[in-house]
A and B are shown apart, each in its own frame.
Chain A
Amino acid sequence: MRSFVSERASAIPPSGIRKFFDIAQTMEDVISLGVGEPDFVTPWCVCEAAIYSIEQGSTTYTSNKGTPQLRGAISHYLGTRFGTPYDPEEEVIVTCGVSEAADIAIRAVVDPGDEVLVAEPCYVSYIPCVTLAGGTPVSVPCRAEDEFRLTADALAEKITPRTKALVANFPNNPTGGVMGESDWRAVADLLVDHDLLLISDEVYAELTYDGDHFSPARIPEIRDRTITLNGFSKAFAMTGWRIGYLCAPREITAAALKIHQYVALCAPIMGQVAAYEALRIGEEEKDEMVREYRLRRNLFVDGLNKLGLSCHLPKGAFYAFPSVESTGMSDTEFAEALLREQHVAVVPGSVLGPSGLGHVRCAYAVSRDHLKDALSRMEAFLESRKLSEQISSN
């Protein structure tokens, strides 16, 4: 029998983390810093609204692009919070998480042969989405010495006549890097000069600790060549509800909507009701969570640096991205040994892009007690390594 798996599906490499997953599954007491999701439960006011709506019988499809209430609320929120208003009728689609939004955004604009720049290290889905759309992903490095920002120089080096778009995620998973207005303006000039589109995943926008998040669609010169992606998972601790959204100029939104209506039909109504409530009355609890993430960041990054794992102070998201070079191990060796010996789960940076090499991603979306426990386990791990080194060198 021939293989029925498509060449496109075959071309996608398997997850770089499968092995770690299997090891962790065999352990009882893993402290996981490997999860890219809040440890908070969705604010109770949001859950209540969703439960009530289910009791009232809201279990139906909605309009393909999402309920008018939620689109209106998103439009108002983006306008007032980040200065990037979008027309709720023609420029907003509610999606099944930002994952789907990234997929349909890429498929709406990429043709076979198009090169798509992907600022890395980054979330694992952008590159396979480009591949599935028939495009060619091209990595653009965001380096530790630049505090993991995307620089115009790094970008310019990778632009060719075939380049069509840039995918970027700031505040960044996994580095915690952020881009300010001047950083974006430098990038914007290149986008205009080379007639490129920007796909900006801003799902961590609310988790910005020093100053406000800057949304690139605020720059008038690139507003009409930008697709803004965002969602509720991180800011409102709503990962399981699967609600994200795509905002873009009319023509692109219409194209993405065609794909969305055939692959997803609509986002789940319960999630949409909950998301509307989150925007309506969830702000205070969101702010409370952000304050707590900031405390955790301070605690954990200080601890890492004291252990000799040098780590820049991330200004956004909930990841610390320390270098493990001082240990003499590669990031994969470090992550595997730490998991096996001390049952602490972290993600090797190289899984998230070539610039992640030599770093590990630690999500500090766990309680401060867990973080302290993780730090003391890491200390024990590094101590035992030093001892074994001394023994082998004697």
Chain B
Amino acid sequence: MDEKDRTLLHLLEENCRTPISELAVLAEMSEQDVKKRIAWLESTGVIRRYGAVIDWERAGNGNVTSVIDLKVSPERDFGYDRIAERIARFPQVRSLRLMTGTYDLQLLVTGSSMHEIARFVAEQIAPMDRIRETATHITMKTYKENGTTFAEREEVERLPYSF
């Protein structure tokens, strides 16, 4: 992993559809080298997946996203890992992290309605062994996602010429 790899990763994170030829020019290397490096980054699991950043509110599918905090009693020998693995299997769970602070696990859950999320928490998550407490926060509005700001701001006009 060197500076060139990191440059490639930044470029792909910004737009994974950038053609190889353009990546080569931008990162100052041959196309062959770009392909080799990307293949390596994929095979070692540094690049997990290629995706798009979507403004679902704008897409109008009415999905609801929520953050769910869980207090969990850790298991001897396994800590939080086993329960986290079980929770991660639910497709509704988009992200799952172990956090410092009042709660232990933090889930990002999407569903088609608030009702659906409430049922998911009440029926699937809360009753699991070792879950001591849950707190569900529903997203009201997304301003920024994965580094992309959704609100449109008027651009400041620059002069066409200056020295």
Asked if A35 and B160 sit within 8 Å, CB to CB, the answer is yes
Q: Which residues of A contact B163 (CB under 8 A)?
A: 17, 36, 123-125, 173, 347, 352
Report which residue of B25, B26, B160, B162 has the largest number of chain A beta carbons within 10 angstroms of its beta carbon: B160
Asked if A37 and B158 sit within 8 Å, CB to CB, the answer is yes
Q: Which residues of B contact A34 (CB under 8 A)?
A: 160-162
- From A24, A123, A291, A352, give the contact of B161 (CB < 8 A): A24
Asked if A298 and B160 sit within 8 Å, CB to CB, the answer is no
Q: Bound state CA distance, A37 and B163, in angstroms?
A: 8
Closest to A300 in B: B25
Tally inter-chain residue pairs, CB-CB below 8 A: 51
Asked if B162 and A298 sit within 8 Å, CB to CB, the answer is no
Asked if B161 and A298 sit within 8 Å, CB to CB, the answer is no
Per-residue B-contact encoding for A291-326, CB less than 8 Å = 1, 0 else: 100010011001000000000000000000000000
Closest to B18 in A: A368
Closest to B21 in A: A302
Q: Which residues of A contact B162 (CB under 8 A)?
A: 34-37
Asked if A299 and B26 sit within 8 Å, CB to CB, the answer is yes
Which of the four size classes fits the interface of chain B? 10 to 19
- From B26, B156, B159, give the contact of A298 (CB < 8 A): B26
Closest to B160 in A: A24
A189 at the interface (CB under 8 A from B): no
Report which residue of B26, B156, B163 has the largest number of chain A beta carbons within 10 angstroms of its beta carbon: B163
A32 at the interface (CB under 8 A from B): yes
Which of the four size classes fits the interface of chain A? 20 to 34
Closest Cβ of chain A: how far from B158's Cβ, in Å?
A: 5
Closest Cβ of chain A: how far from B76's Cβ, in Å?
A: 43
Closest to B3 in A: A291
A132 at the interface (CB under 8 A from B): no
If the complex has contacts A123-B163, A124-B163, are A35 and B158 also in contact, measured as CB distance less than 8 A? yes
A78 at the interface (CB under 8 A from B): no
B28 at the interface (CB under 8 A from A): yes
Asked if B26 and A295 sit within 8 Å, CB to CB, the answer is yes
Closest to B28 in A: A298
Closest Cβ of chain B: how far from A389's Cβ, in Å?
A: 29
A52 at the interface (CB under 8 A from B): no
Closest Cβ of chain B: how far from A34's Cβ, in Å?
A: 4
Per-residue A-contact encoding for B111-153, CB less than 8 Å = 1, 0 else: 0000000000000000000000000000000000000000000
Asked if B160 and A345 sit within 8 Å, CB to CB, the answer is yes
Q: Which residues of B contact A352 (CB under 8 A)?
A: 163
Asked if A25 and B160 sit within 8 Å, CB to CB, the answer is yes
Asked if B25 and A299 sit within 8 Å, CB to CB, the answer is yes
Question: Would you list which residues of chain A between 193 and 216 have a CB under 8 Å from chain B?
Answer: none
Q: Which residues of B contact A35 (CB under 8 A)?
A: 158-162
A20 at the interface (CB under 8 A from B): yes
Q: Bound state CA distance, A25 and B157, in angstroms?
A: 12
B42 at the interface (CB under 8 A from A): no
| Smallest CB-CB A-B distances: 3 pairs | A24-B160, A34-B161, A32-B160
Can you spell out 6 A-B residue pairs with CB atoms less than 8 angstroms apart?
Answer: A21-B159, A24-B160, A34-B161, A125-B163, A299-B22, A345-B160
Known contacts A17-B161, A41-B156; 17 further A-B pairs (Cβ under 8 A): A17-B163, A20-B160, A21-B159, A25-B160, A34-B160, A34-B161, A34-B162, A35-B162, A36-B162, A124-B163, A125-B163, A295-B11, A299-B25, A345-B160, A345-B161, A347-B163, A352-B163
Residue numbers of B with Cβ under 8 A of A are: 7, 11, 22, 25-28, 156, 158-163
